[in-house]
Amino acid sequence: MAQKVLSATKDSGEHYRQGLGMIASENILSPMVKQAVNSDLHGRYAEGLPFNRYYQGCDDFDTIEDLGISMAKKVFNAPFVNIQSTSGTVSNIATLKALAKPGDDITAVSTADGGHISHARMGAVGLRDLNLHTYPWVEERMEPDIDGACALIQDVKPKVVLIGQSVYLFPTPLEDIAQTAHDVGATVVYDAAHVLGLIAGGVFQDPLREGADVMTGSSHKTFPGPQGGVIISSSEDARFQKRLNNAVFPGTCSSYHLHHVAGKAVALAEFLAHGSSYAQDIVTNAQALAQYLDKFGFEVMAKERGFTQSHQVLTKHGEPDDGSGKIAAKLLEDAGIITNMNMLPGDTKAMHPSGLRLGVQELTRVGMKPNDMKTVAECFQRVLLDDEDPSLVKQDVYDLKSRHQSVQYCFSHTDMRAYS
Ligand SMILES: *Cc1c(COP(=O)(O)O)cnc(C)c1O
């Protein structure tokens, strides 16, 4: 059985090595991050904060976490950072624990409009037993109706105003929402899970300067680190900061995966050196992919707004609820292109949507440029519009990918292989 697991593990690496990973929430590790994640730290504990632990044996890890925190403060330009949480969802659970009590009100983006499950009753919001109120939505702009959101906040006077989505094409205009939230005494939380690397690279928006009090995120989507989470705050208030720290440990984590904290610290060091060019290249590639797909005959969402300002592109493959997105995703997989079906405006069935959500952060990481986005778009066209046999297209996908096998935007290492 163990051999079977290990061989499927190897196969997974091989499939991604040969194909195009275009899931918008995924990324690959740099060789140095891999080294940190593969270290002895995976079996250790360090409850507490650097230089203030419950266990002995943490001196080396104190160095690691302390360096990680100081680099994260620089990367995110913030006076407070916690890099312990084990995922974006755990960051949200901890933040809601710190900022609200059961029965309090919260406003957030509905999952139907691209909000994350942790913003919903079925996820972290329900776990904390909060009353959820979702923002009115402007489908053509794929963002909250700002006046309507402000009116809702004024009416409900929530404890927490949560902003951010998983389907995220454009920055959210934050200033009016944050002003209104602060007027009614709410704390503004910006969930940057998907766009953390774009924000850190200065190419999306700057939530902490636009009124957010707290920013949560995943460390493995556009931010190119190991799987994990972060909590960042613009607050200098030591009591507020302590509440956030305590909500992670002991609030939601005991072990907080030290090897991943070390991986985050290495990724932060690499981001300080290469992050802004990585972030810029991601957005350039996303816009190029959208333009080529549009040119080749696909319906790409938000054309009138220039398609995208993030790492994501949304395409529509049929009519609402006809399952055309699911069919498209399967055909693309047969050609070695990994994507996910996604609900678009009008869709009501999560398992039979009409759209695809595409992300270019991983393709960018292995050095693809706008001319490669053209080749990618051609493969989409051949599979989905020209009805070519996906197994024939797969050969060209393989050829393209075989020219992009090493990780970029990181420190050099003896083994630069992107996949294993
Ligand atoms: C992905 C995502 C999360 C959760 O992140 P995980 O690290 O997968 O737990 C939270 N919020 C949003 C908006 C997301 O897209």
DSSP-derived letter for residue 188 is E
CA of 231 to the centre of ligand 1 (A): 13
pLDDT in the model for residue 271: 98
302 and 208 inside one domain: no
CA of 217 to the centre of ligand 1 (A): 7
31 lines ligand 1 (CB under 6 A): no
203 and 242 inside one domain: yes
25 lines ligand 1 (CB under 6 A): yes
Least Cα distance to 51 among 72, 65, 70 occurs for 65
Least Cα distance to 318 among 376, 385, 261 occurs for 385
Tokens of 79: 């006076």
Query: Dihedral through CA 188, CA 194, CA 199, CA 205, nearest 10?
Result: -60
Which atom belonging to ligand 1 lies closest to the Cα atom of 220?
A: 7
Instruction: Enter the pTM of the model.
Output: 0.98
357 and 291 inside one domain: yes
Which residue range is the domain that position 229 belongs to?
31-270
**92 within some domain:** yes
229 lines ligand 1 (CB under 6 A): yes
CA of 116 to the centre of ligand 1 (A): 7
Question: Hey, what amino acid is at 129?
Answer: D
pLDDT in the model for residue 420: 83
187 and 285 inside one domain: no
Cα–Cα distance between 299 and 340 in angstroms, integer? 16
201 and 94 inside one domain: yes
Residue 216 pLDDT class (50, 70, 90 cuts): very high
From 27, 122, 218, 223, mutation site for ligand 1 pocket: most ligand atoms within 8 A of C-beta: 218
How does pLDDT run across 160-169, given as a tens digit for each residue? 999 999 999 9
Residue 146 pLDDT class (50, 70, 90 cuts): very high
From 134, 168, 194, 231, mutation site for ligand 1 pocket: most ligand atoms within 8 A of C-beta: 194
How does pLDDT run across 237-296, given as a tens digit for each residue? 999 999 999 999 999 999 999 999 999 999 999 999 999 999 999 999 999 999 999 999
55 and 164 inside one domain: yes
Instruction: Specify the CATH number for the domain of residue 36.
Output: 3.40.640.10
Percent of the chain with pLDDT over 70: 100
Cα–Cα distance between 173 and 202 in angstroms, integer? 16
252 lines ligand 1 (CB under 6 A): no
Which atom belonging to ligand 1 lies closest to the Cα atom of 164?
A: 13
Question: Residues with Cβ < 8 Å from 40, sequence gap 6 or more?
Answer: none
**52 within some domain:** yes
Q: How many domains does the chain have?
A: 2
- Average of pLDDT values for 194-211? 98
Atom 7 of ligand 1: nearest residue by CA position: 88
88 lines ligand 1 (CB under 6 A): yes
Which atom belonging to ligand 1 lies closest to the Cα atom of 25?
A: 1
Of 236, 254, 270, which closes a domain? 270
Mean pLDDT taken over the chain: 97
Instruction: Specify the CATH number for the domain of residue 294.
Output: 3.90.1150.10
CA of 160 to the centre of ligand 1 (A): 18
68 and 125 inside one domain: yes
Question: Residues with Cβ < 8 Å from 14, sequence gap 6 or more?
Answer: 419
**145 within some domain:** yes
Of 225, 253, 270, which closes a domain? 270
301 and 153 inside one domain: no
